Every structure is written in structure tokens, then in C-alpha cells.
Amino acid sequence: MKRVVIIGGGLAGVSAGHHLLEYEPVVLEKESAIGGLCRSFTQDGFTFDCTGHLIHLKNQYTKDLIARLLPNAFDAHERLAAIYSKSTVTPYPFQANTYGLPPEVIKECVVGFVESMHVNGDGSPKNFHDWVLRTFGQGIAKHFMLPYNEKFWKQDLRNITSDWVSWSIPKPTLEEVVNGALGLTNKGMGYNPKFIYPKNGGIDCLPQALARPVKKVYTNQTVEYIDPKKKYVRLASGLEEPYDFLISTLPLPLAYRMLKDTPDDLKFDAQRLNAISILNINIGIDRPHVSDQHWIYFPEDQYVFSRVGFPMNFSKSVAPEGTSSIYIEITHPANESPNVEEAYERSIQDLQKCGLLHPGDRILTRHVLDIKYAYVVFDDHRQAHVQSLIDYLESRDIYTAGRYGRWEYFSMEDSILSGKKAAEAVTSSMSSVKAYV
Ligand SMILES: Cc1cc2nc3c(=O)[nH]c(=O)nc-3n(C[C@H](O)[C@H](O)[C@H](O)COP(=O)(O)OP(=O)(O)OC[C@H]3O[C@@H](n4cnc5c(N)ncnc54)[C@H](O)[C@@H]3O)c2cc1C
């Protein structure tokens, strides 16, 4: 039987394994548990995911797959998300819910939006900054879109393309902007107005369920070297694992660092792919109901975090009774290491400043993760080079899958489907090899 090796036991990797069961694929995961970004951590009675991980399913195949693997395991929720700015909480999305903000701000947002409708832009937007101004106008750009996104992406938004925003950022109609300014709340906008979340425990039930029938899943196995000519991978332990077909869910820059005999220009292009990291600080608090929201965005620089969320509002099972849990997201450039202690102290102060924490609140637990590859930056370099980087790997029989293997803005559902697609590519290559033989 042909040997299939899969690098990475995140959702894409275990999904690829799940869809190749008859070939008994080997899944190699460097951490002590599978799951990747869909791992969950339980500590002092609290369960934390890697920040918030909520399931939005659009595709019938994944809906059926998850229902079959995990019947009755999820509760459905209607999103409760908000923005905290100018000492005011307004419902998400900002652009369609400005009521409650200072009247001058509301006026600028509505007038700017109307003006933007009458400006005929020259061709399609040149970059994300341009797209924001054209789509929302000066007021919404100034009071939310630009400060929030500059804080999040840690760079000039003129360096970011606008090809990823069409599905992820809701664009209101004039009626919705006016309704929102008058206090007629616009609900259900955007790609995630509803979601499902496990009734019991964290999101890691999903990768666990996909991996269950895959017999050869090995943790604590770090791949360090890929030889596409002799077709083997070498592990940090020194062991070598031969393959006929390789599926890589490694971030593309990492895959290129490990790949033997690669043209220098491709190596160079891969290292210049840009990502944003997230320092994720999770805390448990000895007071219930610190918020009734699922998550809150913070566009202002006076707050160190760009978003905080409340796992106890996803499921009662993830925090002990009488307590609350908070996840904090602080973005940073991928080539910088954050000072965790400073970030933690500052986060607690800022949570007190906006009133989410009270002076007497006790922190019962703290769990910190620094997610190096969190968000792929959609810049001109990515647009120009990502496909050739993927194509070259495929020309060497290495199929890429997942959010970082494809260098995309993938949801969990997308990553599951991407693993399935890589599995199908392997299966079809096998049959063409068989036909040829
Ligand atoms: C902050 C954040 C919040 C998110 N929230 C949501 C959400 O609410 N809803 C949603 O649908 N999606 C969400 N996502 C997206 C979702 O997490 C991803 O689409 C999905 O988890 C990606 O799975 P993956 O397998 O492609 O990558 P990963 O999960 O990164 O898996 C890659 C695996 O490869 C392993 N690996 C790396 N190097 C090696 C090596 N050298 N050897 C062996 N193994 C290695 C890693 O340890 C990891 O397990 C979020 C993402 C982020 C960053």
C-alpha cells in the first residue's frame, strides 16, 4: 500500500487523515496533543480555547459530517457582540449601530456614509484603506474602521489588499446606517450572526472526533526536514518517515525552510509572507456575569487589547459556577516577542478601566498562549506569490492544506474542507499511478 504522511494534527491534518482512512495515513503532530488552533486547555476548572472558536457552517457536507461525528453535541447561539469606544458600548457591527455614541460622531458617520455613496471611485479600491473610505465614508472610517484595523494589523492599511474583506466585513445599506443611528438595532448582519458551540467542554471535541478513526496519529513528533526527491521526512528525534504522498499543513514559510533543494527565489518569497500573531491571555474571575456579551471589540489605543471575549457565555460547562472567564487578544507582528508580564498587567488595568473588572475581583487562573501564525496578511506580496509557492510544492508531490498551508483566511469549516480536498488530490493521484502501472 502507498504510504501517506500528513504533517500537522490541526483540523486540516486530521480532516485529511479522516478522508484517507483506507490508506492508514501517518499524522505527525509536534505538540503533545492534536488540535492545533482548535486545541482546548482545562485548568483550575476553566476551559479555554485558543481565544474564541465558534463554529459557523455553510456547507452541507460539513454540516452532515459534524452531525454524524458529534450528534447533539452543540448548542446554537445568536451572536452577542459589541464595540466599546468613547466610553460607550454599541452593538456590532459599528457601521450599522452608532446610536448611543456622541451626537457629533453619529452625524459624521451618517453624513460620511451618504457622501461615500455619491463618490465615483476611480476603478476598484487600490488597498484596504481605500476600500474602507469608499465603502463606509469618512466618519465610520475615522471612528472605527481605520483605528480598529490599524491596531489589529499593526501596519499601514495601504499595504493590505482588499480582496479578503468582501465576505468578512458587513456592508450596510443606507437604511441600516440610518436605523442604527436612530437606535433601531440592526441584528444578524455579517457572516457570523449565529454559531454553534459544544455543550460540554471546549472546541477540541471537533479535531478529536475527526481523528478518532485515524489509527496512526503521533504527537510530540516535530518534522524538521523534507526530502522531496528521496521522499521522506526527518523528525527532531532523528527518525525518518518515508512517504509516497505528503500532505503538509505547515505554514508555508516553515515548509519552505524544511524543504531540501528549493530554488532560492521561492525560499525568499516564502519567507516574505507576512502574518500577524496574537498574544492570547485567558483568565478566570471569582465573580459571575462580568458581561452578557460573547465578545467586545476595542478600537481605541488606550486599551491594549483589540478584542476580549467571554467563554462562559458560550457554554456553562467551561467555567465553574459563580465565576466568569475572559479571553484577551493582543495582536503583534510575527517577528516580535511580546513581554507577557507587561501585557498581562496592562490587560488587567485596562479591563478595570472599562469596567469589565472591578477592583475587588480575584483572578482564579491565568493561561497564556502566543499564537505565532494567527492571521495571514493579505498584501501585494501574498497576492503575487502564494499560488506559485503552492504549485511548486505540488510539483514535488507535496499537497498543502489548511489555513497556513494554503495561506488563507480559513475558518474551521474551510480548514476541514481543505484537508478533505488534499485527501482527494492524493486519492486521485494514486488512481492515476495505478492506471499507469
Ligand atoms: C485567533 C483565532 C481565532 C479563530 N476563531 C475562529 C472561529 O471562531 N471560527 C472558525 O471557524 N475559525 C476560527 N479560526 C480559524 C481556525 O482556527 C483555523 O481555520 C483552523 O484551526 C486551522 O487549522 P489548520 O489545521 O489549518 O492549522 P493549525 O491548527 O495551525 O494546525 C497545524 C498543525 O501543525 C502542527 N505543526 C506545526 N509545525 C509542525 C512540525 N514542524 N511538525 C509537526 N507538526 C507541526 C501544529 O502544532 C498544528 O497542530 C480562528 C483562528 C485564529 C488564529
Give the closest residue (by CA) to ligand 1 atom 22: 403
CA distance 89 to 93: 11
- State residue 166's pLDDT score: 66
Nearest alpha-carbon partner for 426 in 249, 248, 255, 245: 245
CA distance 132 to 324: 35
Strand partners, 370: 279
C-alpha cell at 160: 493590505
Question: Of ligand 1's atoms, which has the minimum distance to the CA of residue 28?
Answer: 43
CA of 53 to the centre of ligand 1 (A): 11
Residue 428, H or E segment:
helix 412-436
CA of 397 to the centre of ligand 1 (A): 23
Structural contact between residues 429 and 395, judged by C-beta atoms closer than 8 angstroms? no
Structural contact between residues 226 and 28, judged by C-beta atoms closer than 8 angstroms? no
Q: Check whether the bond before 93 is cis (ω within 30° of 0).
A: yes
- State residue 375's pLDDT score: 96
Structural contact between residues 274 and 381, judged by C-beta atoms closer than 8 angstroms? yes
CA of 225 to the centre of ligand 1 (A): 21
Query: Within the chain, which residue ranges are assigned CATH 3.90.660.20?
Result: 275-376
Q: Give the E-state strand segments of 96-199 in sequence order.
A: 194-198
The CATH number assigned to the domain with range 275-376 reads: 3.90.660.20
Rg of the chain on CA atoms, in Å: 23
CA of 382 to the centre of ligand 1 (A): 19
Environment class of residue 190 by beta-carbon count within 10 Å: exposed (0-12), middle (13-18) or buried (19+)? middle
CA of 361 to the centre of ligand 1 (A): 33
CA of 203 to the centre of ligand 1 (A): 12
Give the closest residue (by CA) to ligand 1 atom 8: 53
Structural contact between residues 169 and 409, judged by C-beta atoms closer than 8 angstroms? no
- State residue 426's pLDDT score: 95
Decide yes or no: CATH 3.40.190.10 for domain 4-37+64-69+200-273+380-436. no
- Top mutation candidate among 19, 237, 239, 249 for ligand 1, by most atoms within 8 Å of CB: 249
Pairing of strands 307-309, 240-242: unpaired
CA of 424 to the centre of ligand 1 (A): 21
CA distance 308 to 66: 28
- State residue 437's pLDDT score: 43
Give the closest residue (by CA) to ligand 1 atom 38: 250
3-state secondary structure at position 278:
strand
Residues in the chain: 437
Nearest alpha-carbon partner for 423 in 61, 40, 86: 61
Give the pLDDT means over successive 10-residue stretches in the chain (437 positions).
Answer: 96 98 97 98 98 96 98 96 96 93 96 89 84 94 97 96 79 91 80 91 98 98 97 98 97 97 96 97 98 98 98 98 98 96 98 97 98 96 97 95 97 98 94 60
Calculate the dihedral angle through the C-alpha atoms of 234, 239, 248, 69, rounding to the nearest 10 degrees: -170
- State residue 121's pLDDT score: 66
Give the closest residue (by CA) to ligand 1 atom 6: 53
C-alpha cell at 59: 456547507
Give the closest residue (by CA) to ligand 1 atom 52: 374
Nearest alpha-carbon partner for 197 in 54, 71, 90: 54
Q: Say how many C-beta atoms besides its own lie within 10 A of residue 127's C-beta.
A: 17
C-alpha cell at 170: 458587513
- Ligand 1 pocket (Cβ < 6 Å) reads 7-13, 28-31, 36-38, 50-56, 222-223, 249-250, 254, 278, 371, 374, 402-404, 410-413, 415
CA distance 422 to 250: 13
C-alpha cell at 384: 503575487
pTM: 0.95
Question: Of ligand 1's atoms, which has the minimum distance to the CA of residue 223?
Answer: 42
- State residue 188's pLDDT score: 74
Query: Within the chain, which residue ranges are assigned CATH 3.50.50.60?
Result: 4-37+64-69+200-273+380-436
